[in-house]
Copies of this chain bind each other. A is one copy, B any other.
Amino acid sequence: MSDKPTTIKEIAKILKISVSTVSRALNDHSSIGLTTKMRVKKLAMELNYEPNQKAIQFLQGKSHIIGVILPELSESFFSTAISGIEDVAYKRNYTVLLAQSHDDADREKLLVEKMKTQRVDGLLVSVSKTTSTYEHFEVFKKLNIPVVFFDRIPPIKDIHYVASNLENGTYEAVNFLLKKGHRTIGMINGPTTLVASHERKEGYIKAMISNRLKFDPSLIVSCDLSEDGTIDVMNTMLNHRRKPTAIVTFNDYVALFAMRYTRSLELEGIDFVSYANLPIINYMDYTPIASVEQFPYKQGKKAADILIDLINRPKNETGTEQAYFNVVVESELIVPTPK
- A-side residues, CB < 8 A to B, are 1-3, 5, 48, 50-55, 57-58, 61, 63-65, 73-74, 76, 79-80, 82-83, 86, 90, 95-100, 102, 114, 116-119, 142-144, 253, 256-257, 260, 263, 278-280, 283-286
Question: Given A54-B61, A83-B73 in contact, is the A98-B98 Cβ separation under 8 Å?
Answer: yes
Which residue of the partner chain, among B73, B79, B114, B144, contacts A95 with CB atoms under 8 Å?
B114
Report the Cα distance A117→B55, complex, angstroms.
Answer: 12
Min CB–CB distance A35 → chain B (angstroms): 28
Min CB–CB distance A279 → chain B (angstroms): 7
**Known contacts A2-B142, A57-B57, A74-B79; 16 further A-B pairs (Cβ under 8 A):** A1-B142, A53-B117, A54-B54, A54-B57, A55-B58, A74-B76, A74-B80, A90-B114, A95-B99, A95-B114, A95-B118, A96-B97, A96-B99, A256-B284, A285-B285, A285-B286
Min CB–CB distance A171 → chain B (angstroms): 28
Report the Cα distance A73→B65, complex, angstroms.
Answer: 20
CB neighbours of A3 from chain B (8 A): 144
How often does this chain occur in the complex, in copies?
A: 2
Interface of chain A: mostly helix, strand, loop or mixed: mixed
Which residue of the partner chain, among B58, B118, B144, contacts A58 with CB atoms under 8 Å?
B58
Report the Cα distance A220→B57, complex, angstroms.
Answer: 56
CB neighbours of A285 from chain B (8 A): 260, 263, 285-286
The residue in chain B whose Cβ has the minimal distance to the Cβ of A51 is: B117
CB neighbours of A99 from chain B (8 A): 86, 90, 95-96
Return the 5 tightest CB-CB contacts between A and B, nearest first.
Answer: A58-B58, A98-B98, A73-B79, A54-B58, A280-B280
The residue in chain B whose Cβ has the minimal distance to the Cβ of A63 is: B54
Min CB–CB distance A46 → chain B (angstroms): 14
Report the Cα distance A96→B120, complex, angstroms.
Answer: 12
Min CB–CB distance A270 → chain B (angstroms): 16
Q: Is the pair A256, B279 in contact by a Cβ cutoff of 8 Å?
A: no
Report the Cα distance A102→B99, complex, angstroms.
Answer: 20
Which residue of the partner chain, among B63, B96, B118, B283, contacts A98 with CB atoms under 8 Å?
B96
Which residue of the partner chain, among B80, B83, B118, contacts A53 with CB atoms under 8 Å?
B118
The residue in chain B whose Cβ has the minimal distance to the Cβ of A98 is: B98
Report the Cα distance A95→B283, complex, angstroms.
Answer: 36
Min CB–CB distance A24 → chain B (angstroms): 20
CB neighbours of A55 from chain B (8 A): 58
Min CB–CB distance A114 → chain B (angstroms): 6
Q: Is the pair B83, A100 in contact by a Cβ cutoff of 8 Å?
A: yes
Min CB–CB distance A97 → chain B (angstroms): 5
Which residue of the partner chain, among B54, B83, B256, contacts A119 with CB atoms under 8 Å?
B54
